[in-house]
Structure 1
Amino acid sequence: MRLGVTMFATDQAMPITDLARAAEQRGFTSLYVPEHTHIPVSRRTPHPSAEVLPEEYKRTHDPLVALAYAAAVTERLTVGTGIMLLAQRDPIVTAKAVATLDHLSGGRVALGIGYGWNVEEMEDHGVPYRERREVVREHVLAMRALWSREVAGFDGRHVTFEPSWSWPKPVRVPPVYIGGGAGPKTFAAVAEYADGWLPIGGRGVKDALPDLRAACERAGRDPEEVAVIPFGTVPTAGKLDYYAGLGIEEVVCSLPSAPADVILPLLDDYATLL
């Protein structure tokens, strides 16, 4: 079982460089950070799981800038987004940034992406909430074209650009994992254009696996090629044994957005499970 960690990287939390070093030194394989470009103060959209918006949502670092720092001070650690709000990003610029980070890190980038929950945040980016899933799909397809082809263009409803050069190429096309709850829309998207599923919190995975496998088979994909990585879970030995029994090979553990004196003891506790 491989273990990674995820934390809201902010100006008040443990510095990302220190966290990356500490995680790699203890044998963790990955570090994921989430994204919010901004939080409109109107707060029209309630947080999906908290009555009061946690402070870290207002202070989140840009994930790719933060991960560049993490990659620069480590040698083996996979650096990933979890979750990148891809509908809110320009796909050409994001493809360039991700490819550059992967190129400079030696092929260590993973992209956990999601559709987002904050309606007003999306509106400020010009993204209609009801269209966010289709926007994300086209962004992924367009980015993959730029990463993998010497000359790439795209002609979609939400993304259009003429045949173009875009270098550097990533060392490998970064894996794309879709984060979210189980459901037919999520699983259809995973089966069509992603490399895996990040069940947030890790609940209900066993019951969901047959539906995910069926979606992959309908799309003509081998379900064994699609990773399932419980994301943002609090690990225990029993929980990890349970996941291993389901054939899961990696779990990403939750860390609070907090200073080093809080984070380091948690890392030490989690490391005993490796």
Structure 2
Amino acid sequence: MLHAAHILCLGSSMSAAGTQAAQLARRTGATLHVMPLPSGRAAGPTGSDPGSGAEAAVPAHVVETQPRSVTAVLQYVGDADIDLVVADTPLDRGPVPPLATDLTRALTRRLDRPVFIVERQDDPDAIQRLLVPTDLSVPALRAFRHAVALARLYDAAIDVLHVIESVPYVALTPTDRLSLGATTLSERRGRRRLRAFLQEGEAAGIQVQPHIMRGAAADQISRFANQGDVDLMVLSAHGSDAEEGPLGPVCTRVLGRVTRPLFLVRASGPSLLGPPDDAA
């Protein structure tokens, strides 16, 4: 189950981000913070009645002053002990990847807590299928646990994608010959590891569909996300760049290409998972 005490919406309470943030605040019992952005920066009405918007639906602390910089937003996140930041994609540019705008690029690279970047949709419950790319690492497991919690929250199914990097052969050893069969040795190993990785989702009663692909990880993840029936991608960021934030090379390339809604989970720092999940 997701646990959040404070959720920050960057944009109007009647925007897609405001609707989604209000829904999450209601379901987690969190206080909703609304920080209106300057005109033209990922904010706008969705046709909802002002009296029935996010501010009326949940307890909310509204920040009246406009942030003059991304630094001000980041400072507020720390000062208010925000657990989750929800932001819109720009209204006037169509679907764009998270690294295409100054605000979402700064949020994904510099924040040390989860970020939810949404699209312009009126119904938060439209999220029915989640995509979780995984390299089967410990940080990726943390992202998968968040995806399981989100799937329970939205009554959604999960597609888990593991990409096996293609490696050129320099010699045909007996092991190499095994790898040239219809099902390669690396793929069989990957499927065994993936089955073990998915046990938590199965225990939670979530519909989980595993996928194994070959090639460059960023290419395959981007292709699957943009072409498939994906409503939300849950991605793990676990790089080591101290200046730009812990994204990692594969995550950076994916965030520059994929135009789906994104839930970015950090390898370390604050988590939205409750004590039972953390203890696991």
Scaled by the length of structure 1, the TM-score of the pair is 0.30
Scaled by the length of structure 2, the TM-score of the pair is 0.30
